[in-house]
Structure 1
Amino acid sequence: MSNAAFSLPRPEPGETGPYALVGQARARPGKAAALERELLALVEPTRREAGALQYHVHRDRADPDRFVFYEAWRSIADLEAHLAKPYIGAFLGKRADYLAEEMSVTWLRMASPCPAA
């Protein structure tokens, strides 16, 4: 998956809430600690980006090789700018070293009010 391979669904007409997603990544056997370091290294620079409302990385309590991340962006344009950042490209370029399978992404439409937006 490259930055261009992300197929971001367009916001629906009249949609005003943040643009959000949840993703999953599964570490290769023996690579969970390294994957965690790589994912956590993305947190601070991402949170400093314009338009980043929420950016969290979680580790599954029952399956420590599974990571889940949640992102909420002010707009799709802000997320597109994020995906174009060199540090995101660098992570995506080396992700095969850490991942047992390709990351999955679920694109969300925020239904509840979001005070941060």
Structure 2
Amino acid sequence: MNKIILIICIFTSAFVFSQKKHVSYINTNSLSISVTSSKELETINWQDIKEVFKDNDPESDVSLEIKVKLEEKSTNKLSYKYDYSFKSNSKAKDIDSLIVRMKKGVNYINRVTKNLKK
């Protein structure tokens, strides 16, 4: 009887201690978005970008970058290519203000590329 109780105690303790929970965290430090036209900038879902950084440590540094790579345009003797980028850094706890800055940057890029088409 003592042996059975001892075996039950050993198996019970083995099962209890083997179920430790291991938690690992992933910090996303930067996100870069590349588009080939200014029209694609309007399709950015800012809520998804916020979700990317939601599990970060509030004091971790994060950066967002948007790159617009327009295709080369040619006129009679002149060919030109415009590429734009906008990058902003902040802390993860200030992600809302970072997204507001990025929206302003996207609006500025849209205005500049709109004037180039005229």
Q: Give the TM-score normalised by structure 2.
A: 0.36
More helix by share: 2
Greater Rg over alpha carbons, structure: 2
**Which structure ranks higher in relative contact order (CA pairs < 8 Å, sequence separation ≥ 6)?**
1
